[in-house]
Chains A and B, each alone.
Chain A
Amino acid sequence: MSEPRLLSIEGLSAVSDRDNGAPILRDVSLAVAPGEIHGLVGESGAGKSTIARAILGMTPRTVRITQGAIILGNTELLSLDARQLRRLLGAEVALIPQDPLTALNPSRRIEAQMTDGLRMWKGHSAKSARERALTLLDEVQMREPERVMRCYPHELSGGMRQRVLIAAAFALEPKLVIADEPTTALDVTVQKQILKLIRAMQARHKTGAIFVTHDLGVVAQICDRVTLLYQGKVMEHGLTADLLLKPRHAYTKALVRATPRYDRPVDGLIPVPDAVIAACRAEIAGFDGATHG
C-alpha cells in the first residue's frame, strides 16, 4: 500500500463540547490519492461534514478534536497556527459549497469574487486574473462569460452560480477540492450536469477531491473510492465499484438496497432494517467501551 497520498487522515477523533463530550468522530482514517475523487458518505450526523470542516480548520466551536492527524502533502494541518493554515489552504485547498445561492457575496460582482484569490495568492494582475477567470468560465461551459463577470449573484440562476463556484474552486489549481454536497440544493435536472462538470474539471486539472454526500447514486456516478460512515465511525471503505456491488458490511448492504434505482422498481422506500441499525450501534458501543475502558 505505498500509493502516493495527497491527503491522509489518521485516527481522527472528535467530541462535542456541548453534548457532554459525546463522540462525533471515532478514530477515522482515510487516504486520498492525487487525482482521485474520494466519497464521504453517511446519513446526517454521520460526521462527514465534520471531517470536511476539520481539514479546513473550521470545525464549529462546540466540536473539539481529541486526537489524530490530517496530513496534506507533507504538512500536518492540525499543528499549524491560524496564519500558516490560511496560507496553505488559500493556495492549495478549495471548497465547492453546498448552497450556491448563499455562497456568493450578494454585494460583489462575479469578477471580483473569482479573481480575488488569484491576485492574493498567485500574484496575478487585475488583467491576467480576469483572463484566467474567463478561461475558467469557458471551461465550465458558461455562456456569455464576459457578461457573467459583470453580474451580481442575484442576476444568475442557481445552476449558473454553482458553475461560477466550481470554476472559482479550480482557479488556483489547488491540490485538493472539497465538495460539500454540491448538488443537494440544486434542481434535479441540473444535478447531473453539475456532477459531470465537477468530474470533468477534476480530471482536466488532475485535482484530488473529497466529495461529501448522503446519496449513493451520486457516489456511483462520480467517486473513485468511498468511505462510508455511521455515527462518526468508518463502517466500510474501498473502491466504489467494490463497495456498491460487493458490500461486505451489513450496513452497506442495507444502504445499497435502500437506494432507489431505475432498473429495480420497488413499492415505496426500503428502510435500513432495525436489526442492522442495532448491530451498528452495538459495534460503536463496543468501540467506545474499548477506547475508554
Chain B
Amino acid sequence: MIAGAAHRAAMMAVTLFGVALVVFVLLRVAPGDPIAMMIGPGASPADIVALRAHYGLDGSLPMQFAVWLGAMLHGDFGTSISLRRDVVALIGERLPATLELAFCALGVALVLGIALAVIGTLGKRRAGEAVVDGATGLLLAIPDFVWALLLVLLFGVAVPLFPMSGRVDPSLGAQFHTPFYLLEALVTGQGAAVRDAAAHLVMPVLALALPLAAIIARVLKGALDEAMVQDYVLLARVKGFSELRIVTREALRNAIGPTLALTGVQFTFLLGGTVIVERIFSFPGLGNMAIEGVINRDLPLIQGIVLTFGFLFILTNLVVDLTVVGLNPKLRHG
C-alpha cells in the first residue's frame, strides 16, 4: 500500500516535470515577444535589454528552464509580466472560481447523467428509452461553447432569467473573506449571497455539464443494460423487488465503476472547457486569466496556469483510480 502510494507520487512528479518541459518549450518556440508587448514606442535598446534581464529572459533556453524549475520547487512561479504581480497569488485568487464552476458542473453532470441512465433503463423498450436516447444524442452533439451561446440567447436574452457575466452582483455589496464565494456563502448561511452566486453559475455550469451528462448517461445506460440481464437481477426480481429498486440497488453498483472511471477522464476535458466558457460568461476564473495571459504573451503567468491545470488533471486521475478501487470489492481486497 505504501509502496503503491510512493510509486504514484513518483509518477506524478515525472508527469509534472514533463508538463513543465512541454509548456516551456512550446511557449519559447511560439511567435510573439513578451517584452515587445509591454514596452512603449519610445523605448531605447538599452531599456529592452534591461527589461529582458529583469524578467530572466536573457539567458540560454536550458539556463532559463533550469532557473524557472529551481524557483518553482521553492514555490516561486515568478512575476506576471502584464499584471506585474506574483503568479502564485494571482492563481490563488482565480483558481477557486474555476474549481467552484468545475465541481458544480461535475455534480450536475453526474446527477443528470445517472438520472437519465436510470430512467432510460426503467423505460426499456418503451417511450422512456427513446426519449432518453434522443436527449443524450442531442446533448452530446452540441459542444460546451455552443451550449454557452445557446444558453445566453435563451436565458440571458430571450427570457432573462440568469445573469450573463461575472461571479456575483457587485451592487449587492456582499463581502467575502475567501475566494470560494459560493462555498463561503453556504457555510456562513448568507441566503442572498448564495442565491446570487448560484444564479451566476447556472448558465456556465449547464454549458459544461450538459455534454458530460450525456456521456455519463450513454455509458452508464450501456453498463446497466448489461447488468440487468445478470442472474442476480433475475433473483432480485423473484424476490419481488420493484424495478426501480433493482436498478438502483442491484445493478447500479456494478455498472457505475467504468462510468466513474470515464467521468474522471472526461472531467479533465471539462476543466479544459472552462477556459472558453469562462471567457463567454466573463467569469473571473483561471481560464479567463489564461486567455489574457496568452494575448499579452505573459510567459510566467501562462506557465503557472498550465502547470496548475496539469496538476489538477493528475490529481483527478488519482482520485478516479482510488474511487474505482474503493467501489469494487474484488479490487479492494486484492
Tell me the complex Cα distance, A87–B239, Å. Answer: 9
Question: A58 on the interface (CB 8 Å rule)?
Answer: yes
Count residues on chain A whose CB falls below 8 Å from chain B CBs: 29
Tell me the complex Cα distance, A105–B248, Å. Answer: 13
Residue on A with the closest CB to B334? A154
Question: B171 on the interface (CB 8 Å rule)?
Answer: no
Is there contact, CB below 8 Å, between B333 and A108? no
Question: A203 on the interface (CB 8 Å rule)?
Answer: no
Tell me the complex Cα distance, A32–B66, Å. Answer: 85
Is there contact, CB below 8 Å, between A103 and B330? no
| Residues from chain A with Cβ under 8 Å of B236 in the complex | 105
Q: In angstroms, how far is the closest chain B Cβ from the Cβ of A115?
A: 11
Given contacts A106-B329, A107-B329, contact A90 B231 (CB under 8 A): no
- Binary interface encoding of chain B residues 225-261 relative to chain A, with 1 for a CB under 8 A from any of its CBs, else 0: 0000011101111111110000000100110000000
Is there contact, CB below 8 Å, between A105 and B253? yes
Is there contact, CB below 8 Å, between B253 and A93? no
Central interface residue in B235, B237, B241, by most chain A CB within 10 Å: B235
| Residues from chain B with Cβ under 8 Å of A120 in the complex | 239-241
| Residues from chain B with Cβ under 8 Å of A226 in the complex | none
Q: In angstroms, how far is the closest chain A Cβ from the Cβ of B234?
A: 7
- The dominant DSSP class at the A interface is mixed
Tell me the complex Cα distance, A87–B241, Å. Answer: 8
Question: B15 on the interface (CB 8 Å rule)?
Answer: no
Given contacts A97-B234, A102-B230, A107-B328, contact A89 B254 (CB under 8 A): no
Is there contact, CB below 8 Å, between B232 and A90? no
Is there contact, CB below 8 Å, between A108 and B240? no
Tell me the complex Cα distance, A99–B234, Å. Answer: 12
| Residues from chain A with Cβ under 8 Å of B240 in the complex | 86-91, 117, 120-121
Q: In angstroms, how far is the closest chain A Cβ from the Cβ of B226?
A: 12
Given contacts A91-B240, A152-B330, contact A108 B253 (CB under 8 A): yes
| Residues from chain B with Cβ under 8 Å of A97 in the complex | 231, 234-235
Show the binding face of B for A, using Cβ within 8 Å.
230-232, 234-242, 250, 253-254, 327-330, 333
Show the binding face of A for B, using Cβ within 8 Å.
56, 58, 86-91, 93-95, 97-99, 102-108, 116-117, 120-121, 152, 154-155, 165
5 pairs of residues in contact across A and B, judged by CB atoms under 8 Å: A86-B241, A102-B230, A102-B232, A105-B254, A107-B327
